[in-house]
Structure 1
């Protein structure tokens, strides 16, 4: 690792620490992700190899953070350490939203539109290549403040979802962005879980506040039900046979625009299609890109 000069730790990723570093030969700033390899492993664990191969494949898209290189090193105890070298992005969507939240200023409508389009485009690319992110949230959407470009990061939890859909553990998504089918214990789920997260992020960009800020799985569901109405077999066939389904308080749906008063009619329509209860009725990321909400957006530079 002599090729790099570590500057500071910038965070903890799914599999290890992340540092900002300078590549000595080029002077380029990069993000180094140091992956924890399990103590008893001979060589590199399959989870890491899987992440690396998925990232290599997805790195081709401008809205996925670029994996530049992979370096293997020995630590002091003689254990193998893997460093993933990523392009460095100077902020993330969580910090960007927070900075507006502090000043009380709304994020410009055209900025919201551009960021949303880039997010849909990146998610559509992942889905087209058989990859679910499963943990989309503002914190792992990286941004460049100069160009306002957005890139999806931390695909560490991504699983290539080849058919048949395997049973996934549902203890993974951050609660606020977690789709109702996951909260209700569905063991088989699809690309629609990411689209729900995208919808929650959309609303948060508009209001600078989380749409459903639950602090437990039950609270999370109740937040959703209060706004969208308590689901039933009519709006979501099969919902009452999900593992975690109970008799919940009965709420009628509120108008979605009441939650995002600053969003225009097309935006509210797109948001409502992203927040459909029935996963099979939820709009796909690819279809979302064609929604009239994005008609006025100059897509030439995206």
Structure 2
């Protein structure tokens, strides 16, 4: 008891922080227990140190990062400096905060790619400045940490080939100095009003899914906004061309499932794509399909022109949008899924119209001219009445896509519904009987897990495949090259 009184008295004389004395006493008690064991071995001079060491330890812990007390005197306890004695308690406390931090810890905390190259000495600096891993990291500190690594800086990326150029943007093939991986650099000039704002682009960066193209970095300067995407070899249109427009039915099923996975993830987060088409679906050498070029523009309507002044294709637009509807929701994407499904299985577009009127004629020739029974309210639509469509009768889809089985026809018909609210949801489509042969495991994949991580899932050789490799001379026509920026809901 006398020892504890002495300790408490000396602590109260030197304490300058708001930390309670009792908190420090619990640490002293632990150290004193260690000293008691040492005293049993040596009852000589060790006895004196059993008094001195705990006091030094306590003052080192309490006054860490505090230089001077309020009275102008040093907060270091008299007698022994903290540099002279490295207490096991203090060493243990300090090491618990720093020694366990590894590259993997930093990658996880900052959401970095696993193969990133951190600057020399960054690991130690991060360990000293970062709060403990059980506490949240401030947004300001996170931004500063990412900037110090090299994110948000143009000099981090090396430009290689120009892939495309339009009125508003230029796209380059590039290489990241951080990972040595290829990237696509989309430079959007900011002098035009319709370019995306950084806040909207940041939303895209939060989409983390195996079937969505990754936005690695955003670089904002006074005149240019550069989006750094992962680089993929080709798009679905090129893939179909390489197959001579004859794809394996099995591969169609795998690609369609991946498309629906990516869409379901987006729709759960209230994000729409709004311009689905084969050119916006990228494919890597593994066969992983990824959605690209999400809606980024500020305008409220579906775009009619791209950033390169190309007329946006009407082939994958639902009839309600073609007739002027602005009530955009997830069904706008599901019609496009149906059109792409048909095109993969048949090798030709379903509704290749050249104008809005021509597009609607093609739709109604196959699906039938809508009536109040098939599309409630359509007969009162001024746009619909303006065209004065003839009365087409619906044709069985099986006549146009004989390679699809009965389950496939059922899914296709549920995607190609006139009335938006009747179209099947992406989540429900994933559980359709058409995908039953893929097994149950594909239904429980983590968002970032590839479908090819499931044992037994792999692509087959396409009947019309001309080459098993991707030609290096191929000029990529996917969205990095067309430089189109789409709509955000």
**What TM bracket, shorter-length normalisation?**
0.7 to 0.9
CA distance in 2, matches of 1:208, 1:151: 20
CA distance in 1, matches of 2:164, 2:254: 26
Is 1:68 the counterpart of 2:200? The answer is no
> What's the secondary structure of 2:172's corresponding residue?
strand
Residues 204-219 of structure 1 mapped to structure 2, 5 A cutoff: 204-219=343-358
TM-score scaled to structure 1, two decimals? 0.87
Is 1:110 the counterpart of 2:250? The answer is yes
- Contact 1:89–1:142 (Cα < 8 Å) also in 2: yes
- Contact 2:407–2:434 (Cα < 8 Å) also in 1: yes
> What's the secondary structure of 2:260's corresponding residue?
helix
Change (3 A) 1:6 1:46: closer
Q: Which residue of 1 aligns with 2:437?
A: 296
Deviation at 1:7, TM superposition (A): 1.6
CA distance in 2, matches of 1:275, 1:12: 35
Change (3 A) 1:248 1:92: same
CA distance in 2, matches of 1:26, 1:90: 18
> What's the secondary structure of 2:286's corresponding residue?
coil
CA distance in 1, matches of 2:278, 2:167: 15
Is 1:24 the counterpart of 2:24? The answer is no
CA distance in 2, matches of 1:131, 1:242: 28
1:79-100 deviation line (CA, Å, top 9, x unaligned): 4212111111111111111222
Q: Which has the higher helix share?
A: 2
Deviation at 1:266, TM superposition (A): 0.6
> What's the secondary structure of 2:250's corresponding residue?
helix
Is 1:264 the counterpart of 2:412? The answer is no
Deviation at 1:56, TM superposition (A): 1.4
Is 1:127 the counterpart of 2:267? The answer is yes
1:102-161 deviation line (CA, Å, top 9, x unaligned): xx5x211111001000101111111110111111111111111x21001111013478xx
Larger radius of gyration: 2
Deviation at 1:72, TM superposition (A): 3.0
> What's the secondary structure of 2:238's corresponding residue?
helix
Change (3 A) 1:198 1:210: same
Deviation at 1:46, TM superposition (A): 7.7
CA distance in 2, matches of 1:202, 1:99: 17
CA distance in 2, matches of 1:222, 1:82: 41
Q: Which has the higher strand share?
A: 1
Paired residue for 2:229, among 71, 77, 86? 86
Q: How many residues align?
A: 281
1:199-252 deviation line (CA, Å, top 9, x unaligned): 000000101111100000000000100100001111010112334212211110
- Contact 1:92–1:140 (Cα < 8 Å) also in 2: yes
Change (3 A) 1:286 1:218: same
Moved more, 21-30 or 225-234: 21-30
TM-score scaled to structure 2, two decimals? 0.54
Change (3 A) 1:12 1:276: farther
Deviation at 1:54, TM superposition (A): 2.1
Change (3 A) 1:8 1:216: same
Deviation at 1:61, TM superposition (A): 1.3
